[in-house]
Amino acid sequence: MTVLRRIIAIMAIMAVATVALTAQETYRYEVGGGVGMTGYLGDANRSSLLKQPGWTVGGIFRYVIDRRWSLKANLLVANINGKSDGTVYPGGAVYDFSSTLYDAGAQIEFNFFNFGIGSKYMNLKRITPYLTVGLGATLGTPDSGGSAFAVVLPMGVGVKYKLKERLNIGMEFTMRKSFGDRLDGLSDLNGIRHSFAKNTDWYSVLMVSITYEFGKRCKVCHYVD
């Protein structure tokens, strides 16, 4: 009887584990979109990102490497604005502008916690902060005319929350360093030329997003991460 009880107990444990693994689906991809606010620092604003905020909308595609790491591609359309009142330029000139940006890039994300819902033994968290850094390109179309292209370096922080098994919301703040000085249509206003690395155009993106997961990793394997 003792042996039979042990066999029954082992079979029960295996059944429970199988159900748990079957219920815990993991997915490779996320797709979604978001809206938010932009800020600008440059020739026409050297003091505050919130001085003349703009808007941004965009799409997101994320490849989930595992519970901690993911790769994200984004395509954004944004507006930045600036006015140089308070900054003294030669001849007392005052500059103001509005520019539409078309931003495409990729970022790598590191979650502080194992992100997900499901089995307790994996210590999953429905909410996690994360760090992100990447590389992208931006086309600026200022209202003064013409256009400008620049390589950008996005870096920032964010937080993700899992609403349901396949539905996530997030908020992310990134500063984008522009390796170009004409996204605002302005350059060398003091008559001092800037090098490639020491230009003055930065912009920020604060975005709230919602994403949907798809592409199941594995239905029958005993290791799902």
Lowest mean pLDDT among 111-120, 193-202, 213-222: 193-202
pTM score, whole prediction? 0.80
Backbone dihedral angles phi then psi of residue 205, each to the nearest 5 degrees: -135, 120
Rounded CA-CA distance 36/86 in Å is 27
**Could you read off the pLDDT of 18-34 as tens digits, one per residue?**
434 334 568 999 999 99
Token pair for 64: 């989930």
**Could you read off the pLDDT of 57-92 as tens digits, one per residue?**
999 999 999 999 999 999 999 999 988 766 655 555
**Which whole-number Å values give the CA distances from 19 to 12, 38, 123, 222, in the listed order?**
11, 46, 18, 11
Mind listing the domains of the chain with CATH numbers? 2-216 (2.40.160.20)
Residue 158 CB: number of other CB atoms within 10 A? 21
